[in-house]
Amino acid sequence: MNNIFQPDEHNLERAALTIKSGGLVAMPTETVYGLGANVYIAAAVAKIFEVKQRPFFDPLISHIAETDFLKTYAQTDERVMALAKQFWPGPLTMILKRTDNNAAIDLACSGLPNIAVRMPSHPVALELIKKSGVPIVAPSANKFKSVSPTTAQHVFDSLGNKVDMILDGGACTVGVESTIIDVTGKNIIILRAGGTAKEDLEKFLNEKVLLSDGSPDKPSAPGQLLKHYAPNHPLRINAATRQPGEFFIGFGKIADCDLNLSPTGDLREAAANLFAFLRQADAVPGYTGLAMSPIPENGLGLAINDRIRRASYKA
């Protein structure tokens, strides 16, 4: 039975009740669809790991709907609140010191002393969080290490009826996950490139923002495992041309390609198309591999390259 629902008032109330009672609801965000659960119900948080087949040492992001709530949920200072007011709602996650020793939150944080928090900008996600009255932990709504979902149908194709409800908010506009920054120390460090560009953070802060690959064996933030976002076929990146048997995904002025992330070289368009195109390419019969054109390492290109490097990683 199809469990995709339109996010009208009745279904939003029903979804909020599902969250409150420990169920799972897939919700649209501006980045990708998230598999949501009540952060305070340990069994619900554990079910996310079970349904996604995700390692328990890979932390989850808490999604909130009010900036001021952050002060009651994590340790904040003037810099943290300034970042929140500038970039929220939007694709920016902050790693902060925890203030709550709740056992369920410990599971969401994978036992770490910090917590990952963001405020999504999608109206359906915000409304669901408000109606639920609790932070919602929501990693991407797909099986672990598979391509992230940017439509409700992608969620159903990956997880089916293992999710109680899937709220259909249309296609995601950003298409890559949020940027994750560690703000627990003197310097701000990007742990995962994403939908908020490093240059925009530096311009607002008027300071250098550092980059870290994190530890793939012991992640301090979501999405740091080396093999992540992987299609079923092997993916070759920075490809100038296709090789025999490859489905070729281009970028910019590439004539001989099967799909083009952005013919005009628009990184925002490329980010929005990335996961959908990987999924689409993976489903075409008759190919033995995938190849992708080089993507510039600036702006959203930083996030795109992070994703495709992980997608192409050979364990």
pLDDT tens digits, one per residue of 133-149: 999 999 999 988 788 89
pLDDT recorded at residue 219: 46
Same CATH topology for 4-211 and 235-312: the answer is no
Question: How many other C-beta atoms can be found within 10 angstroms of the C-beta atom of residue 68?
Answer: 10
Question: What's the CATH superfamily of 4-211?
Answer: DHBP synthase (3.90.870.10)
Helix, strand counts (H, E) of the chain: 10, 15
pLDDT for 137 equals 96
Q: 235-312: which CATH topology?
A: Rossmann fold (3.40.50)
Residue ranges in the chain whose pLDDT is less than 70: 1, 54-58, 101-104, 213-229, 314-315
Please report, for the chain, the start and end positions of each structural domain, with discontinuous segments joined by +.
4-211, 235-312
Cα gap 30→53, rounded to integer Å = 24
Nearest of 165, 299, 173, 282 to residue 229 by alpha carbon: 282
